[in-house]
Structure 1
Amino acid sequence: MQIEDSVRTDDGASTTDAGPAVPERYDFGRPAALSREHTRALAGAFDAFARLWAMQLTSKARLRSHITVERVTLETYDEYVSTVPATTTLVLCSDEDADARAIIEFPVSTALLWIVKMLGGDSARPLEARSLTPIEFALLRALMDETLGHLRGSLGGLLSERLAVTAVQYNAAFAQIVSAQELVVVARFSMRLADHTESASIALPAAVLLERLTDTTSAPHAAPDPDVVRHHVEEAPVELTLRLASRPMLPGEVLDLAVGDVLTLPHGEDRPLELAIGDHVVAAAAVGANGARLACVITSSDLSRSLVEETP
């Protein structure tokens, strides 16, 4: 099959450049996108993390925060580096005993704003970007240790429990958690902090993450134990109500009620009361006493149809 491209020259003539279409090779070992199942699972996990991160920033940095997941993609590390700002905060996380790494990225000015707010400052706007001092790095590291804990909790067993914050870089090209052509799972976030919006991202090496995710999603789900289900149902507390037969009334009648009014109820004197859970009648009972307290005596636990359907 050939594709023809027509080009019109200045004198109005049309020339045709025909050439064979070149097929693009597909590497099945390195898919171009996440599967739908993986995307759904990761989006849900990162969404849970975004809510926890927003609550953390609101409480720790005293800054009203709202964070949402924009998208979750599969990219090479080179592609990821090309999308982040030339100067930004890259919190590097690693596990000394395993080849597990991660990057949490956000603007340097935003990091400085968090630090100022944690120290009691009243600034509500991002500050001019600069390198962090040792004290500022210590404060940011303490904050990001907690953030990393939220990330581990949200992703479950997909991240190493020993993953910890190790350093801060300001250029993604120098961070290099994987080689340039290796795949990373990238989650991009929109951060609304007070009255302005910033962008943030998280990059995780795809090889181990997707392998663990596949094992998790493909693991057979254990069938529920009927005895355990029955035990939980039997142990669940319920509220019992002893009641008379109900009487329908118009809203106007209810609004006109006053002290001393007498309401007739469609319940015979010799008719037992209804013992109900919610709207479901489970037994019939008569009023009794137990010492100084009112009580009820069960007269029937299997109400007859004629009694349930009885009308006054």
Structure 2
Amino acid sequence: MTVQEHTRTSAPTRLNAESAKSVEVYDFRRPTTLAREHSRVLELAIETFARQWGTQLTAKVRVVSHVTSEQVVMLTYDEYAASLPPTTAMVLCELQDHTAKAVIQFATSSALTWVGYMLGGNGGQPAPNRKFTQIEQALVRKLMDDALEDLRYSLGSLLVTPISVDTIHYNSQFAQAAATTDLMIVASFEIRVGDNTTSATLAIPADALLPQLGETNPMSTTANARQLMQAQLVSVPVDVSLQLAPAKVKPGMILGLSVGDLIPIPHPHHRPLDLAVDGQSLARAAVGANGSRLACVVVSSPSGDGAPTESSTEENS
């Protein structure tokens, strides 16, 4: 088979593979990506929460602990739940005036290791991956209560809704914290307690944070763009100069200039000077003084009223 024949044979296969790709409908009314400025604000808040959470764990389990923030994204709850292992600890947290719940997720075996440290263990034995007993659940809830305090402190004005621990679930597919299409702000962490390292996630309904993010980074509307531009232009500094009427000369005269040469300026003695900005004449002004410095007195304005106006603009030419 020649190269040309092979190309002809493989081309339909490639086209069929491309046409078989699934097309996902994008809803522009509910974007699933965070704006850059919003993402940065959330990342800073989540990094603060990670540091606070690590300090809190160290104090509670009496073992040096570190929590590192890895990523902050926005996902639908269905996408978030699908990314979790089937069996895991999911602490559902109730948000006042919100149907959807926040979620703090981590491995049950790691949580049992934390409980073992709290009860005097040394973490030498690997913890099983099972549900919590009543005592273990009470201790884990206490750890989560403290974590939520750190979360409220770290998010500050971004989280205006009271949040509290509701229930603990162990199956990511059955724990319905929100509707499948609800948007969630999802943060992922790495938690290291002693020699034990595990991954954890925090999911907060986007509706609980996005309104405050808009206030944190206000976006100006373009409806009054003309007024905004005018307000900005009036505060921009510009160079103002007093100018004589220009004289037209030939290049040969310019090239032959020397000290002592006299160039006649066609500007009458009785005519005021031109008050100009960037070479554009805006008004007429007479030379004056302001203390020890030269100044000008505007004698005619663009409106043509001719009313003299005092000005302390220094003469530049």
Deviations 1:76-97 (A, max 9, x none): 1111111111111111110355
Equivalent residue runs for 1:27-106 within 5 Å: 27-95=27-95, 97-99=97-99, 101-106=101-106
Q: Give the match for residue 204 of structure 2.
A: 204
CA distance in 2: counterparts of 1:177 and 1:125, whole angstroms:
33
CA distance in 2: counterparts of 1:170 and 1:68, whole angstroms:
24
The Cα shift of 1:193 comes to: 2.2
CA distance in 2: counterparts of 1:214 and 1:96, whole angstroms:
20
CA distance in 2: counterparts of 1:65 and 1:125, whole angstroms:
18
CA distance in 2: counterparts of 1:58 and 1:159, whole angstroms:
25
CA distance in 2: counterparts of 1:13 and 1:29, whole angstroms:
43
The Cα shift of 1:208 comes to: 2.7
Residue from 4, 9, 33 that aligns with 1:14: 9
CA distance in 1: counterparts of 2:199 and 2:30, whole angstroms:
27
Could you say if the C-alpha distance between residues 179 and 168 of structure 1 is closer, same or farther in structure 2, counting changes exceeding 3 Å? same
In structure 2, list runs of 5 or more residues that go unmatched: 221-317
SS at 2:180 equivalent: coil
Equivalent residue runs for 1:204-283 within 5 Å: 204-218=204-218
Q: Give the match for residue 189 of structure 1.
A: 189
CA contact (8 A) 1:90 1:104 kept: yes
Q: Name which of structure 1's ranges 97-106 and 31-40 shifts more when overlaid on structure 2.
A: 97-106
Q: How many residues align?
A: 213
The Cα shift of 1:15 comes to: 3.7
Deviations 1:127-181 (A, max 9, x none): 1111111111111111110110101110113324521101100112222121112
CA contact (8 A) 2:69 2:188 kept: yes
CA contact (8 A) 1:63 1:194 kept: yes
SS at 1:75 equivalent: strand
The Cα shift of 1:109 comes to: 0.5
Q: What's the C-alpha RMSD, in Å, of the aligned pairs?
A: 2.7
The code of the aligned residue for 1:116 comes to G
CA distance in 2: counterparts of 1:85 and 1:7, whole angstroms:
48
CA distance in 1: counterparts of 2:83 and 2:172, whole angstroms:
10
SS at 1:131 equivalent: coil
The code of the aligned residue for 1:135 comes to I
The code of the aligned residue for 1:52 comes to Q
Could you say if the C-alpha distance between residues 7 and 33 of structure 1 is closer, same or farther in structure 2, counting changes exceeding 3 Å? farther
SS at 1:88 equivalent: strand
Identity %: 43
Larger Rg: 2
CA distance in 1: counterparts of 2:4 and 2:180, whole angstroms:
39
The code of the aligned residue for 2:209 comes to L
SS at 1:144 equivalent: helix
In structure 1, list runs of 5 or more residues that go unmatched: 1-5, 221-312
CA distance in 2: counterparts of 1:124 and 1:162, whole angstroms:
38
CA distance in 1: counterparts of 2:195 and 2:201, whole angstroms:
20
CA contact (8 A) 2:115 2:140 kept: yes
CA contact (8 A) 2:99 2:178 kept: no
CA contact (8 A) 1:101 1:163 kept: no
CA contact (8 A) 2:112 2:127 kept: yes
Q: Give the match for residue 305 of structure 2.
A: none
CA contact (8 A) 1:100 1:163 kept: no
Normalised by the size of structure 1, how large is the TM-score?
0.62
CA distance in 2: counterparts of 1:219 and 1:32, whole angstroms:
19
The code of the aligned residue for 2:57 comes to L
Deviations 1:264-299 (A, max 9, x none): xxxxxxxxxxxxxxxxxxxxxxxxxxxxxxxxxxxx
CA distance in 2: counterparts of 1:65 and 1:98, whole angstroms:
33
Q: Give the match for residue 163 of structure 1.
A: 163
The code of the aligned residue for 1:164 comes to S
Q: Give the match for residue 307 of structure 1.
A: none
SS at 1:73 equivalent: strand
